[in-house]
Amino acid sequence: MGQGILLSAGADIDFMIHGVFSYELFGQTVWITTTHVCVLIVMLVITAFCIAANRAVKHASDVPGTFQNVVELVVEMLDKMIGGVMGKFSPKFRNYIGTIFIFILLSNISGLFGLRPPTADYGVTFAMGIMTFVLIHYNQFKYQKVKGVIAGLCDPWPIWAPINIIGDIAVPISLSLRLFANVLSGTVMLALVYALLSKIAIIWPAALHVYFDLFSGAIQTYVFCMLTMTYITNACTTDE
C-alpha cells in the first residue's frame, strides 16, 4: 500500500521530511527534523564565511587578495541590485534583503551537496513570507500614516476594501508557495530519477542538478528578493 501502488518498481523514493529525534516541551512532542539539521548546516557555512569575511575586511589591503575580492564582489552585487529597485530606501533594507538573498541561495544550492534543501519545507518559506508581510505593513503605517493606509484600502471605491484585504493577505502566501513549490518540484523530480532509474542514473543526472538546483534556485532567489523589494518600496512610497 501507499508508495507501493505509486511506484510499481517498489524502489524507495525518499524526499519527505524525517524526524531525527523528539523531545517534550510543555506537554507537546516537538520533533527535530531533517529541515532543522539542514538549516543548521547552511547557517554554519554562512557564519564561517562571515567570520572569514570580517577578518579579511578588517585587515584589508590596498591590493585586495582573492578572498577580499570575492567579499567585495558579493557586497557590490547586492548593493547594486537593491539600489536599482529601492532607490532612496535601499540603505534601510540592505541588511534584510542581503540576508535572505544569501540564505535562500545557499539553501537552494545545498541540494547539490546531498542535503534536503531547507526551502523545500513550507515552514521555512512561510516564515520568510510572514517577515515580508510584517515589513510591508509596518512600513506602510510608518510612511503613509493611518490615513494613507485607509485610502489605499478603499482604492477605487470603499466597497472594494474586502477585496484589497484579501489581496494583501495573499501576498505572503503566494510569495512563500512560489519558492516552496519550485524547490520541492526539483527535489521530488531528482528523487524520482534516482529511485526509478537507479540502474542507469550514472552521470547524466548532473545536468538535472545544474538546472533544478543551480539555475532554478538562483532564479527563485532573485524573484523572491525582487518581489519583496517591490512590495516594500510600494508600501514606503507616498502619493506626493
Partner 1 sequence: MGEFNNNFILGCSAIGAGLAVIAGIGPGVGQGIAAGHAAAAVGRNPGAKSDVTSTMLLGQAVAETTGLYGLLIAMLLLFVKPLLP
**Which positions touch partner 1 (CB under 8 A)?**
1-2, 5-6, 16, 174, 177-178, 181-182, 184-185, 188, 219-220, 222-223, 226-227
Residue that the C-alpha cell 540592505 belongs to = 94
**Which residue's CB is nearer to partner 1, number 185 or number 234?**
185
CB of 240: closest distance to partner 1 in angstroms? Answer: 27
CB of 3: closest distance to partner 1 in angstroms? Answer: 9
First-to-last alpha carbon distance for the chain, in angstroms, is 63
The angle that helices 161-196 and 216-236 make with each other, rounded to 10 degrees, is: 170
- According to DSSP, residue 63 is labeled S
CB of 5: closest distance to partner 1 in angstroms? Answer: 5
**Which residue's CB is nearer to partner 1, number 1 or number 206?**
1
Written as nine digits, the cell of 207 is: 545536468
**Which residue's CB is nearer to partner 1, number 56 or number 136?**
136
CA 230 to chain centre: 16
Residue that the C-alpha cell 544550492 belongs to = 109
**Which residue's CB is nearer to partner 1, number 1 or number 146?**
1
CB of 184: closest distance to partner 1 in angstroms? Answer: 7
How many alpha carbons fall within 13 Å on the CB side of residue 58?
6
